[in-house]
A and B are shown apart, each in its own frame.
Chain A
């Protein structure tokens, strides 16, 4: 087919942040489907909890302290996370490097406390369905936590190499910030379900 040039793209930039970038939308897509996974798992928990009148099935209450510490750590981490985002948007390589190191540490810290959360549930996964659901919910979130922390650490290393100083990498940092928000936000309802709903009953 014959062609008629009628639009010049040569002045367009080669990367963009946030919703301008396809990677941002891809991240959002994965958040949607993983969020759906969380919602379905939480729905299954609530379904069983309303099905059985004596829910918690005479298991002891979970100790909420490790979970509460994780929650506080995660919420606190949002502050440096967003400061980092600002640096990434301005493509300031020095502060971004520092920010990534801080976020890696703030990712590892809740993971360490998470280790103590499992025994604090005060029940095993194979004791009864209540125990199973607690382990499943906590396990699901832990999987996300581990993968995102792994991702953050790899990206941190990358930012210190010669590959770091490029628009594409700053975009990656932005998406990493975005995904961490998701990991924190999904934790809140799960935290309430695991530790505070049994206290209501």
Chain B
């Protein structure tokens, strides 16, 4: 299809009756970009789309790139904090019977490490990457529901601060990252620690859900003209599927944490077997979310890999359709696996076999993906740069994690190693191999787009090898101590067991791994300040985020690009076809149809507003208060209602009115 077809008669939506327009209040219009010269266009759009200056301006920003940058930096800070937790644990475990950390603090440490890594680092950082990249990759000017997006960030930081302030006050959750009852219930967890767990879950899930909805609508309705389903970049597909998994998985954990807090605070008996409740219900509800959670972290990483590999293999990805179908298949299958976390609870045999089978079945689409990537590399002319190195690191580490995963999916083996360091090794191979390594590759790959400068390639290689060696040194031996019987979540072990040396080795590896992040941070700072200028498209990549300047202007694209191919920039090397006719004096962007991405509506995008922050403060205050009294909900209702009305009430901008 040529771009000319897009303007033809049949693209106009059938139900657009002329009479409808006639009924509307006076037709508003303003200057359009048609025929405008580049400098004039830039001046108009900059004025219309900029984030206002000053502190209030910054707090009111609704620019997806600004919000995403904040998210990325915040999530990175939480990674470092969670890493420090881990280093503290490893120092304590580096020898038998060390007295550095007592059992009570150790419980808080591994719980904070787990929740920080899962809820404050891994999920937010993949969503943040999507907030930055998805609008650019689909060729639009802002994410859908920009104020909701800003709100999600404020809720997320408040949740993180809430958890870490509790830790500073010796009030951090100490019941493990999944906080099983009865341990976390009213009987065995007096005080507020378990409530902190429950409410920090509520915060982070509200924020993830909001981002997921905004991402889905951006992908469905804001794609550049011509970006039909088969031309959507794989990374965008991955974020779309992930967002769907979030929408259907996260409500389960919100219900779980709400039930828990109700049991603790107002005396319901949902998890109390003595009064007709059930403790295993908690595990079912939690893992109905918890297993998909792993894929919420992993699917975006596969999207990153699918974006990186073709660029460095210098050819379009092999098996595009196969990759899309595997993404969707993994998304679906991820909901059929939760019970494999509960094999040790004495489930009926047949049920367990079913979940063993489905746990093994998910290896099929994952295998298809790996095959397509390898085929792309095989058939291309790979240029080995740091992003690709991290992708290789991913292959190696993730395959090992996958293998131990298949082992754990068999019930007899799981019963043996349940709650040992074998499991700790397994999930770090999967989480760090499957998510952190691709993320690091993605950081090197997209850093030039975000900052306009390159990171050092030489430091990048050092970083890779340090991370790779440090990681394996820290986590491979954990398989062994696990098989020898060392349980997880113990603050120390007696010398007679002979686990001292290997633990010392593990701790040394952990320190090396941690140092690799120090080097990474240095490389980031160095790149941002002194790196070589990147230009629009330093890697000569094919997708739309590289069609605009680095860093992109507030309005992303001076004119909305038209997509004629899966890698539009490779197909249109001379000049990119673009659309004209949008207004430049208000924030106008293009809404297109879901399947074909035919242009449909000139929609206005929300202007900056301080209200999302105020609403987040009202909601956050209510959450904190609610760990002390159920009346918080009543007290919080008024401020929440007021801030929401302030948010939605039109204030005279054309964006609100027309």
- A residues contacting B by CB (< 8 A) are 1-16, 19-22, 25-26, 29-30, 32-34, 36-37, 40-41, 44, 47-48, 51-52, 55, 57, 89-92, 125-133, 135-136, 150, 154, 158, 163, 165-168
Contacts and interface: CB of A to CB of B under 8 A. Distances in A.
A7 B281 contact: no
A9 B580 contact: yes
A1 B576 contact: yes
B578 A6 contact: yes
Q: In the complex, which of the residues A3, A26, A128 has the most CB atoms of chain B within 10 Å of its own CB atom?
A: A3
Contacts of B3: 6-7
Contacts of A90: 20, 23
Contact of B277 (A13, A40, A129, A167): A129
A89 B628 CA distance: 47
Contact of B288 (A13, A40, A51): A40
B16 interface: yes
Interface residues of B, number: 88
B601 A13 contact: yes
Contact of A167 (B24, B220, B547, B649): B24
B577 A166 contact: no
B525 interface: no
Given A9-B580, A34-B251, A22 B641 contact: no
A54 to B, nearest CB: 9
Given A14-B601, A163-B657, A167-B24, A136 B577 contact: no
Given A7-B3, A32-B247, A132 B270 contact: yes
B595 to A, nearest CB: 11
6 contacts: A9-B580, A22-B222, A36-B248, A126-B266, A126-B267, A167-B658
A170 B536 CA distance: 41
A45 B32 CA distance: 57
Given A13-B602, A14-B658, A4 B578 contact: yes
B24 A12 contact: no
A125 to B, nearest CB: 5
B266 A125 contact: yes
B21 A13 contact: yes
Contacts of B604: 14, 168
Given A22-B591, A33-B248, A44-B281, A14 B276 contact: no
A111 B199 CA distance: 28
A1 B536 contact: yes
B147 to A, nearest CB: 12
A47 B280 CA distance: 10
Contacts of B214: 26
B656 interface: yes
A33 B209 contact: yes
Given A6-B578, A37-B255, A57 B599 contact: no
B209 A132 contact: no
Given A20-B13, A44-B285, A125-B267, A14 B578 contact: no
Given A10-B581, A21-B591, A40-B285, 19 more contacts: A1-B569, A3-B558, A6-B577, A7-B4, A12-B601, A16-B591, A20-B13, A25-B220, A36-B247, A36-B251, A41-B255, A47-B281, A48-B270, A89-B20, A125-B267, A128-B276, A129-B270, A166-B24, A167-B658
A7 B225 contact: yes
B23 A91 contact: yes
Contacts of A14: 28, 601-604, 658
Interface string B608-650: 0000000000000000000000000000000001000100111
Interface in B251-297: 251-252, 254-255, 259, 262-263, 266-270, 272, 275-278, 281, 284-285, 288
